[in-house]
Amino acid sequence: MNCQRFAVLFSVFVMIASSAIPATAQPTPRTAWGDPDLGGIWDYRTITPMQRPEKYADQEFLTEEEAAALEQGAVDREIAASEAPAVRTEVGGSIGCCNRFWLDYGTTVVGERRTSLIVDPPNGRRPPMTPEAQEAASKRPGWGQEPPPDTYADLSSIDRCMGSTGLPIIPAPYNNNVQIFQTPDHVAILIESMHLSRIISLDGRPHANVAQYVGDSRGRWEGDTLVVETMHFDGGLQMIAGSVPDRLVERFTRVGEDIQYAFTVEDAKTWVAPWTAAVPLTKTDAPIFEYACHEGNYAMVNMLAGARAGERAAAAAKQGAR
């Protein structure tokens, strides 16, 4: 995306978001050295979807009545989940991921009542995939249809507790919190989901031309907005944005008790054009919790053991059929 176009787009987004803030709002909180204060723990839960549902077509914003209905539906689902018994299956069965009780999507739409988190393209949806990406996607097995893994390396980084819902920051089923730390020369972001940490240099050093798991991040202040450019991903990080981008540009602007956050994904091998989404981060007093998931946990052992047990059962059935 053209940098000027992104700046204009983000400015419009901040103006929309800021319009709901009372005229008596306090000045932007600042650090002891004068930068906007981004420090603290931030909650980014929302039921607003990443992509605009097709039923809304060109409708950019929900009406108050539509937003209220969606939020009441979310509250009703939370109540039902809290009262539902735990899911139990027969031996060999599966509950998929988690009982609904353990999920926490939030119960509110974003403050501007947008119908999607994506703000560009204007239709609120990701751009079309490139022909090469479409072909690759058509060859990937569906969820649960993957061949049995031979080793840990055959499992995705999500299965291995090494993925992220925080690079970029996108709402997920649970653990939607980040903690930000600042110094004059660095910003550190601790992502609650999958215990990922990012260190962002602000001292003007150039990008290192070395591929890294979380990419190479460089930040700079443009007025009161922190702009972070990340590139040189090594491809190992499975990102919830749908691809590992060539370049990720994020913007953090403190507005009252919120951070207006937006990101642009540039990935010419996957999408025919860049795309941009905006996600509000809300200050919270809740703590960051341990994400007790690690590559060597029970699930890894059980997935590999289950694959071997399945192979033995298939071999025995084949032998018995002879």
Residues 182-191 as b or e (16 or more Cβ within 10 Å = b): beeeebebbb
Q: CA–CA separation, 232 vs 217, rounded Å?
A: 9
pLDDT tens, position by position, 137-150: 888 877 667 788 89
Q: What is the pTM of this model?
A: 0.84
Rounded to whole angstroms, the Cα distance separating 211 from 69 reads 46
Q: Where are the domains of the chain?
A: 3-21+29-62+109-291
pLDDT, one tens digit per residue, over 20-48 is 444 456 789 999 999 999 999 999 999 99
At residue 25, the pLDDT reads: 60
What secondary structure does DSSP assign to 155-173, as a single string?
S-TTTTT--BSBTTB---S
| Average pLDDT of the segment spanning 209-227 | 94
Residues 38 and 259: beta-carbon distance below 8 Å: yes
Q: Is the pLDDT of residue 183 over 60?
A: yes
Residue type, 75: V
pLDDT at position 83: 76
Q: How confident is the model at residue 51 (pLDDT cuts 50, 70, 90)?
A: very high
**Percent of the chain at pLDDT above 70?**
85
Cβ–Cβ under 8 Å, residues 248 and 240: no
b vs e for 73-100, b when ≥16 Cβ sit within 10 Å of the residue's Cβ?
ebeeebeeeeeeeeeeeeeeeeeeeeeb
- Are the beta carbons of 210 and 232 closer than 8 angstroms? yes
pLDDT over threshold 80, residue 74: yes
Greatest extent of the chain over all pairs of C-alpha atoms, in Å: 82
Average pLDDT of the residues in 83-95: 56
Comparison of pLDDT for 7 and 37, the residue scoring more = 37
pLDDT at residue 93 tops 80: no
Please say if the pLDDT value at position 212 is more than 60: yes
**Which residue in 24, 81, 31, 3 sits closest to 247, CA to CA?**
3
pLDDT at 44: 96
Residue 210: strand pairing partners: none
Q: Which helix (H) or strand (E) holds 262?
A: strand 258-266
Residue 273 predicted with pLDDT over 60: yes
pLDDT at residue 6, rounded to an integer: 44
Give yes or no for residue 112 having a pLDDT over 60.
yes
User: DSSP letters along 20-77, please?
Assistant: TS-TTPPPPPB-TTSSB---EEEE---SS-SS--GGGTT--B--HHHHHHHHHHHHHH
Mean pLDDT in residue range 99-116 = 89
**Residue predicted with more confidence, 165 or 148:** 148
pLDDT score for 144: 66
Cα distance between residue 197 and residue 178, in whole Å = 10
Residue 228 near residue 215 (C-beta atoms within 8 A): no
**Reported CATH class of domain 3-21+29-62+109-291:** mainly beta
Output the pLDDT for position 294.
Answer: 78
| CA-closest candidate to residue 98, choices 263, 267, 299, 307 | 299
Instruction: Please state which of the ranges 69-78, 125-134, 144-153 shows the lowest mean pLDDT.
Output: 144-153
Compute the average pLDDT of residues 284-305. Answer: 86
CA angle 32, 38, 41 (to 5 degrees): 120
